[in-house]
Homo-oligomer: A and B are copies of this chain.
Amino acid sequence: MVGATLGSKLVQIGHEVKMGSRSANNEKAVEWAQNNGAHASYGTFADAATFGEVVFNCTGGTVSLAALTLAGAGNLKGKVLVDVANPLDFSKGMPPTLSVCNTDSLGEQIQRAFPHVKVVKALNTMNCKVMVEPSLVPGQHDVFVCANDSQAKAKVVDILKSFGWSSIVDLGDITAARGTEMVLPIWMRLWGLSQNRPFNFRIAR
């Protein structure tokens, strides 16, 4: 759902998008491509990694490293990887716990496993509808970015601006992913209380 929402937005604003899946003909990916016109296509994770100039990781956080291994370090080499995933573990029931936190984060794990990829953690602190349409939440609110590579970060900031984001908070290097992933427990609680009303974090200052 996150990948389809981001992919559709990227197509709408003029990008070519290839949706990657474990199999080459994932039903949902085929349907997504059919619904999104000539600039939308689908394939394996490796196909998508090869195709993209910028790659979005929208897989479940507990399987992201496996999915990116299928995508292939060689195919991802030198590219910007926007890590939208959260390491939420639903296997022990609700509320989910984080499969990594406190002394490490998924963003850092990905950066370590793929040292030649420019990992930018972003957009993981909100519902996917808000990611691509920030005006769904009234007033000012923020999207956080962090990355080791400042050029990669600047590229992602440009993409976020093209989505409609005006308040983009740069938290520094990829270790700040601990911070943005660890807001998920309060996010889940707020989501449970939200009655489906869109919400987002704002740093008032």
- A-to-B contact residues, CB < 8 Å: 95, 97-98, 101-103, 137-141, 144, 169, 171-172, 175-176, 178-180, 182-183, 185-190, 192-194, 197-205
Given A101-B102, A183-B186, A190-B171, A205 and B199 touching (CB < 8 A)? yes
Given A98-B102, A182-B182, A186-B183, A204 and B199 touching (CB < 8 A)? yes
Question: In whole angstroms, what is the CA distance A183 to B102 when docked?
Answer: 11
Contact of A141 among B138, B179, B189, B204 (CB under 8 A): B204
Contact of A204 among B102, B140, B179 (CB under 8 A): B140
Which residues of B sit under 8 angstroms from A185, Cβ to Cβ? 102, 178-179, 182
Question: In whole angstroms, what is the CA distance A186 to B179 when docked?
Answer: 4
Contact of A97 among B103, B197, B202 (CB under 8 A): B103
Which residues of B sit under 8 angstroms from A101, Cβ to Cβ? 101-102, 182
Question: In whole angstroms, what is the CA distance A203 to B178 when docked?
Answer: 20
Looking at A95, A172, A183, A186, the one whose CB has the most chain B CB atoms below 10 A away is A186
Whether B199 contacts A171 by the Cβ 8 Å rule is no
Given A98-B102, A182-B183, A189 and B204 touching (CB < 8 A)? no
Q: 6 closest pairs, A vs B, by CB? A: A179-B186, A141-B204, A199-B205, A202-B202, A179-B185, A182-B182
Which residues of B sit under 8 angstroms from A188, Cβ to Cβ? 179
Contact of A102 among B102, B189, B199 (CB under 8 A): B102
Whether A179 contacts B189 by the Cβ 8 Å rule is yes
Pairs across A and B, CB under 8 Å, 22 listed:
A98-B102, A101-B182, A138-B204, A141-B202, A144-B186, A171-B189, A171-B190, A172-B192, A176-B186, A178-B185, A179-B186, A179-B188, A182-B182, A182-B185, A182-B186, A183-B183, A194-B205, A197-B205, A199-B203, A200-B204, A201-B203, A201-B204
